[in-house]
């Protein structure tokens, strides 16, 4: 499979961490922190050089001028998430963007004030949502609705999402779902959820932290009102790197939306006239607050060039094979100690498989690391493994399962 893989050369574009014996780790944590593209360094060095040689003049005269730097990322990022350029911007970080989006799109009233999330939403999302509810004078006890798997199940059923929106939709102000759940790896059909929500008059937003760079998202087509994501997981742009934000075209010039504003959202032509009246840029860029971190954007630029070259649709094709192979090998072990909780249908998951351990024995996970596997442990009892199509090979998957099998034995 590796020999036939038309994307196999992409592995050499990344630094693979090495063990003390100089062998590369089997790195399956691209869902947590993506690996460093080799070109990240030269991209960041370019900005250090220009800063060194030009000082403030770099805003206009750097090789990649800093003033419009975020615009150099927009088209590639828009392509990656299936949005239009006026709907896509790189700014801030994920939780910050989530708050900014809720400022504009969570507008509770006495009769419609609830937010619907997944019961195992990422903690930051839950904290953000709860704090917004309280900020508006409501109580999470009544305003926070959770989509739960049925007892003894791990995944949320489509018919349960439908039923909940149908029954409570009139009271739901905002539906906010992680489009790919960080824990179970379940991928939700955004178009269906947007449609169901909109029929009931709800605003629909998605946290695509585990979807962006992992699965084609088609954000524009999904009809979602907004989406946010980070760039340090599957987008390989480095720890704490800036986040991405999508606002549907139909909202970007709506002057009635409340918004927290800063000078980077102001009309670019008159920004430096330093006037007192805010004039929003007629795109999602109007939500920008500050002039952004150029070094972080340089790493994002390096990474997006790789995605442009590979193509997210091609990556997805390989990803389905790679994860399918992983699933097949794990099931072949036939162990009663482990089970995969991620959906088995490829269109209901990305590249990640979540392996649940009976008796929650964390030793097994720690032994995997000793044997050269970097995976991820999530309390209480799940090992998450995410073979990414850019830098993981079928051999990686085979070797991982061989080590897992040894440990189980
Ligand atoms: C990774 C992740 C976050 C982290 O947010 P930051 O603000 O970037 O630290 C939040 N939500 C989800 C769903 C995530 O997967």
Predicted confidence (pLDDT) per residue in 65-94, tens digit: 999 999 999 999 999 999 999 999 999 999
- Ligand 1 atom nearest to CA at 124: 10
H helix or E strand, kind and range, residue 401: helix 394-408
User: Is residue 302 one of the residues assigned to a domain?
Assistant: no
Q: Which two tokens stand for residue 155?
A: 């995944």
Same domain, 103 and 236: yes
User: Is residue 63 one of the residues assigned to a domain?
Assistant: no
Same domain, 235 and 321: no
CA 300, distance to chain mean position in Å, is 14
* Protein residue whose Cα sits closest to atom 2 of ligand 1: 209
Same domain, 182 and 231: yes
94 ligand 1 Cβ < 6 A: yes
H helix or E strand, kind and range, residue 178: strand 172-178
Same domain, 128 and 265: yes
Separation of alpha carbons 3 and 23, rounded Å: 21
Distance 285 CA to ligand 1 centre (A): 21
Instruction: For residue 110, report the phi and psi dihedrals to the nearest 5 degrees.
Output: -60, -35
The SS3 of residue 351 is coil
- Ligand 1 atom nearest to CA at 230: 8
**Which among 32, 124, 179, 241 is the best mutation to test ligand 1's pocket, defined by most ligand atoms within 8 Å of the CB?**
124
Same domain, 123 and 217: yes
Separation of alpha carbons 209 and 31, rounded Å: 9
- Cβ–Cβ under 8 Å, residues 197 and 172: yes
Burial 259-273 (b: 16+ CB within 10 A, else e): beeeebbbbeeebee
H helix or E strand, kind and range, residue 355: strand 353-357
Same domain, 247 and 341: no
* Protein residue whose Cα sits closest to atom 8 of ligand 1: 94
Same domain, 333 and 201: no
CA 395, distance to chain mean position in Å, is 26
- Asked whether residue 172 carries a pLDDT value surpassing 90, the answer given is yes
Please identify, among 291, 322, 349, the residue that sits at the C-terminal boundary of a domain: 291
- Asked whether residue 262 carries a pLDDT value surpassing 90, the answer given is yes
**Which among 29, 102, 122, 241 is the best mutation to test ligand 1's pocket, defined by most ligand atoms within 8 Å of the CB?**
122
Partners of residue 178 on adjacent β-strands: 207
User: Is residue 219 one of the residues assigned to a domain?
Assistant: yes
Q: Which two tokens stand for residue 9?
A: 């050369």
C-alpha distances in Å from residue 21, one per residue of 25, 177, 239, 371: 10, 43, 26, 11
Separation of alpha carbons 77 and 85, rounded Å: 8
Same domain, 274 and 396: no
Same domain, 286 and 320: no
Q: Which two tokens stand for residue 66?
A: 């800093």
Same domain, 207 and 356: no
Predicted confidence (pLDDT) per residue in 22-70, tens digit: 999 999 999 999 999 999 999 999 999 999 999 999 999 999 999 999 9
User: Is residue 306 one of the residues assigned to a domain?
Assistant: no
Distance 230 CA to ligand 1 centre (A): 7
Q: What does the pLDDT average to over 291-304?
A: 97
Other beta carbons less than 10 A from residue 153's beta carbon: 11
Same domain, 283 and 322: no
CATH number at residue 284: 3.40.640.10
Position of tokens 């000078």?
263
What is the structure's pLDDT at 361? 78
User: Is residue 256 one of the residues assigned to a domain?
Assistant: yes
* Antiparallel, parallel or unpaired: β 373-374 and 26-27: parallel
Same domain, 319 and 262: no
Distance 33 CA to ligand 1 centre (A): 11
Please identify, among 291, 326, 350, the residue that sits at the C-terminal boundary of a domain: 291
349 ligand 1 Cβ < 6 A: no
CATH number at residue 360: 3.90.1150.10
* Antiparallel, parallel or unpaired: β 144-147 and 114-118: parallel
**Which among 209, 212, 234, 235 is the best mutation to test ligand 1's pocket, defined by most ligand atoms within 8 Å of the CB?**
209
Distance 49 CA to ligand 1 centre (A): 32
User: Is residue 167 one of the residues assigned to a domain?
Assistant: yes
* Protein residue whose Cα sits closest to atom 13 of ligand 1: 122
User: Is residue 188 one of the residues assigned to a domain?
Assistant: yes
Sign of CA dihedral 309, 312, 314, 315: positive
User: Is residue 301 one of the residues assigned to a domain?
Assistant: no
182 ligand 1 Cβ < 6 A: yes
Instruction: For residue 147, report the phi and psi dihedrals to the nearest 5 degrees.
Output: -85, 120
Structural domain boundaries, residue 363: 8-37+312-408
Residue 362: pLDDT band (50, 70, 90) is: confident
Separation of alpha carbons 212 and 235, rounded Å: 7
Instruction: Count up the domains in the chain and report the number.
Output: 2
What is the structure's pLDDT at 272? 82
């Amino acid at each position: 499979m590796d020999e036939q893989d038309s994307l196999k050369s992409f592995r050499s574009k990344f630094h693979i961490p090495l063990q003390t014996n100089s062998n590369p780790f089997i790195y399956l944590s691209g869902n947590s922190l993506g690996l460093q593209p080799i070109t990240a360094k030269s991209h960041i060095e370019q900005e250090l050089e220009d800063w060194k040689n030009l000082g403030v003049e770099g805003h206009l005269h750097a090789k990649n001028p800093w003033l419009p730097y975020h615009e150099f990322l927009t088209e590639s990022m828009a392509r990656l998430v299936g949005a239009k350029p006026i709907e896509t911007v790189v700014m801030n970080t994920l939780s910050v963007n989530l708050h900014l989006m809720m400022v504009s799109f969570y507008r509770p009233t006495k009769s419609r004030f609830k937010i619907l999330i997944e019961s195992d939403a990422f903690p930051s999302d839950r904290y953000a949502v709860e704090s917004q509810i309280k900020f508006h004078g409501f109580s999470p006890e009544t305003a926070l609705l959770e989509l739960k798997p049925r007892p003894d199940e791990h995944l949320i059923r489509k018919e349960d999402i439908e039923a909940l929106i149908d029954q409570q939709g009139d009271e739901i102000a905002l539906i906010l779902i992680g489009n790919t759940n960080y824990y179970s790896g379940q991928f939700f059909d955004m178009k269906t959820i947007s449609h169901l929500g909109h029929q009931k008059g709800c605003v629909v937003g998605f946290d695509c932290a585990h979807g962006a760079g992992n699965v084609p998202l088609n954000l524009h087509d999904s009809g979602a009102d907004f989406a946010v994501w980070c760039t340090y997981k599957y987008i390989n742009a480095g720890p704490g790197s800036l986040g991405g934000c999508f606002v549907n075209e139909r909202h970007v010039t709506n002057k009635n939306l409340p918004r927290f504003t800063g000078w980077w959202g102001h009309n670019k032509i008159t920004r430096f006239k330093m006037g007192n009246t805010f004039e929003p840029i007629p795109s999602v860029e109007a939500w920008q607050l500050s002039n952004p971190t150029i070094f972080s954007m340089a790493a994002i630029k390096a990474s997006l060039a790789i995605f442009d070259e590979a193509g997210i649709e091609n990556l997805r094709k390989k990803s389905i094979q790679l994860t399918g192979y992983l699933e097949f090998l794990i099931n072949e072990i036939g162990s009663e100690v482990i089970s995969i909780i991620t959906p088995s249908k490829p269109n209901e998951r990305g590249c990640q498989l979540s392996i649940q351990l009976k008796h929650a024995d964390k030793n097994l996970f720690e032994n995997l690391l000793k044997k050269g596997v970097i995976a991820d442990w999530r309390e209480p009892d799940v090992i998450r493994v995410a073979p990414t199509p850019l830098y993981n090979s079928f051999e990686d998957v085979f070797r991982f399962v061989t080590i897992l099998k040894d440990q189980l034995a």
